[in-house]
Amino acid sequence: MTHARSPAAGFAITAALALVCLALPFVGLPLFYVQQAFLLFFFSALAQSWNILGGYGGYLSFGHVAFVGLGGYTVGILYYKLGLSPFITFPLAGVTSSILALIIGAICFRIRGSYFLIATMLVLFILQSLALNLRDLTNGSNGIDLPLFTNDYRFEARLWYYCGFGALVVTSLVAYAVERSTFGLNLNAIREDEDVARTMGVRTVQVKAAAFMLSAALAGMLGAMYTYRAHVIEPIGGFSIEVSAAPILMAILGGSRTWVGPIIGAVIFQTISIGLAVSFGNEYSNVVFSIFLIVVVLLLPEGLVGLAKRGRKPVVAPGPAPAAAAETAKVG
């Protein structure tokens, strides 16, 4: 017998958590935790954006941070060259990233699996090299500085807290809509067997391209927000391998086939990562956490959400074997 939670209960729990998040900056939360909360929201939203193609579609991309960096450089260059406010140019960051995704997809969707993973990682290194060498446009290794809002650090921390929370809400709603749409079903079919999906009438190329562009557009706008909060964009930090790996690990840890999985994975990832860093220092914490993630991926390939779903499945008592059932029918 199953005890499925009703949609109304799920909505009530989600709404309650949202209200708690909205109130936290005004209940005496220390500034450090307000700043850390932004990073949690940012990485949760970034994991959601990666999950659209990597989780639902099964096309694992290690170069997702390329779109984050491109979004950051879009707002940075428009401010550096034209003096335009990054808040105004946020949408353009999504546009440039989605165009890049379309170009990459046209070239790389002919390959699958680890080859696609490597190809997207190469795009990351190419963009990083361009950012270093196109000095007139990007200011090279010196990077581009962006303006502060105010000298009131608490006000700015709260502002970015709510920007990060809003970004998480938007990306989660997008992921939720994708998961429950025909588009999402097509992505799941591609993940399970792309050749079979094509024979069933799924327009695989168009579906993959749309998913990649949507994923990249969200990442680009997140990158613009992340860059403006940091007030600087430079090649090494803008196209960081660590930032590229984090959303993938978060999505896999929580469960990459559901919209809620990346959020759960991000919360656990950030909590354990910060706790280990405080307890053992960054050097040892990275080693311990890497081992933990390897164990989780090997033992829980569907993530924590997949484990919870298996735990809710009802235990069905085995019925009589077909032959025994037939004999019973004859005797009756």
Specify whether the CB–CB gap between 77 and 211 falls below 8 A: no
Domain count, the chain: 1
Q: Minimal CA–CA distance to 233: which of 114, 93, 139?
A: 139
pLDDT at 60: 85
Closest of 10, 53, 14, 27 to residue 187, by C-alpha: 53
Assess if residue 48 is contained within a domain: yes
In the chain, which stretches have pLDDT less than 50? Answer: 1-4, 315-317, 319, 321-332
Residue 57 lies in a domain: yes
**Domain interval for residue 149:** 32-240
Q: Which pLDDT score is estimated for 179? A: 93
What is d(CA 97, CA 89) in angstroms, rounded to the nearest whole number? 13
Instruction: Answer whether residue 144 is part of any domain.
Output: yes
Domain membership flag for residue 325: no
**% of the chain beyond a pLDDT of 90:** 49
Question: Residue 298: its pLDDT value, please?
Answer: 72
The contacts of residue 142 (CB under 8 Å, 6+ apart) are 234
Confidence at residue 326, expressed as pLDDT on a 0 to 100 scale: 42
Is residue 263 assigned to a domain?
A: no
Which pLDDT value is given to residue 329? 41
Q: What count of other Cβ atoms lies within 10 Å of the Cβ of residue 178?
A: 23
* pTM of the complete model: 0.85
